[in-house]
């Protein structure tokens, strides 16, 4: 039995939380569109991996906390706080709204909407 869209996104988030980027990427289509709205649009699994890789590997711990979620057969929308716990006790916490489109058991579109100025300030500080 194939996974629902909500199960696919849940498994993806669980793999990110485990800092297992390879396992997370198994739930992503090769031609995925990944967008941090207001920052960049990345095309393809390798571009997504290159962008996310340093965040995951440089963090001591990663936790994507889902606060609320709504799902259909092909769409998952969630309100989350993505936390990256860095060496030296620094934490980057990004409160956001995420939208995932799923087809054939893979994430084909992932968009996150968040305050880019807050994110930039946290990265700089």
Catalytic positions, written as ranges? 82, 112
In DSSP notation, 58-120 reads H-SEEEEEEEEEEE-SSEEEEEEEEEEE-GGG-EEEEEEEEEEEEETTEEEEEEEEE-HHHHH
């Amino acid at each position: 039995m194939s996974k629902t869209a909500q199960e696919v996104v849940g498994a993806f988030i669980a793999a990110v939380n485990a800092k297992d980027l390879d396992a997370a990427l198994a739930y992503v289509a090769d031609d995925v569109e990944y967008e941090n709205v207001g920052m960049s649009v990345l095309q393809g699994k390798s571009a997504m991996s290159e962008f996310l890789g340093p965040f995951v590997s440089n963090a001591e711990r990663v936790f994507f906390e889902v606060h609320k979620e709504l799902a259909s057969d092909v769409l998952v929308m969630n309100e989350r706080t993505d936390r990256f716990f860095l060496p030296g006790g620094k934490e980057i916490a990004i409160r956001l709204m995420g939208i995932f489109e799923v087809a054939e058991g893979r994430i084909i579109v992932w968009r996150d909407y968040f305050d880019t100025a807050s994110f930039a300030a946290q990265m700089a500080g």
